[in-house]
Structure 1
Amino acid sequence: MDSVLSWQPSTHTAETVVDGRPLAIWTPSGEAADLEPLKQFGFTVASYQSASFVRATADVPAALPSGDIETIPPNEYGYVVVQTAAGDTQCIVEATFIGCETEGTNWQQHVDGSGPYHGVRINTDGTGSWVDGNLGAVAPTTLGAKTYRALGWTIASTPAGMRFTNDKTGHGALVSVQNVQPF
């Protein structure tokens, strides 16, 4: 196995190099203190928490949109894939998170200076993490200028981007090729 893609929401990792290959370990809970013991074995603990994922409670929308809402049914694998009208941002919608990708270069930069992340995960509570990965060859639904519902999320396609709001928590994010704004 050469690599592993994970949508795990951890923002802390322990990193080292073994036999000339990078090795990273993270914890499901994402707590930096869980990784501290690895320092005695030559690991460096790094944080990938971004200020852009810090949200104030005032940023939570007061209400979900009302009116005509189109429901997008899940595909045969149990999830929904949507994209902007321009096709510059795609997102996978699952019940517990939204995973988005873009080829743009405006999202958070890697701490090692290797360029921007092209993926982001947003959880139902509005927290998230930057990720590297690829949604694969999916058949997305291109969103028009209206409101949609899929797997417990309300999705509003606006000129500013795709706004994902979890129906239970009221949290989510506005995602565009320029920016990711959690709320």
Structure 2
Amino acid sequence: MRRVVLDNDALYCLAHRGRNNDAEAVDVLRIAVEQHRLQLMATHILREEATAGVGDARKEQMASILEFAVNVPTGAFLFDISEFGQAAPGVDDATIKQLRDGITVASRKHAHDALITSTALAQNATLVSLDNRAIRRARELDVAVMSPLELLLEAGYEPTWLGAQSA
């Protein structure tokens, strides 16, 4: 079973694909989860980001994906960002420092990225992201990374535009 931790960019991309491009994409993920071929993991940070700053239709689509995601604690605790009871200090301080290197206090997005990457590390899971900085940092720590499209293809998604190209 592939175990993945989604970041906000990946969730947003998957929701967009499901809403505008191909509703089958979300169904493919749901089926893969139901068949125990895939485990989607979400942190409190992802759930909070999914409800902030997007339109109602997009929130609804992201919520439909999060319905079949398992809640997991973040892999580390960062004061003033993490929620008590929803963070497991499983990743050492040196790793968190490496993930946060160069991040200012004002840069909450990068701190969120560090916590989500630490979760993938702590859960021995694949990080699903489109964020180049998060991907680079994850790879430096030997965390497996894949894009939302790679996740969909592995789950069995067959986009019509790929079929047309190979015909």
TM-score bracket for the superposition, by shorter chain length: under 0.3
Q: Greater share of helix residues, 1 or 2?
A: 2
Calculate the TM-score normalised by the size of structure 1: 0.23
Q: Greater CA radius of gyration, 1 or 2?
A: 1
Q: Greater share of strand residues, 1 or 2?
A: 1
Greater RCO, CA 8 A, separation 6+: 2
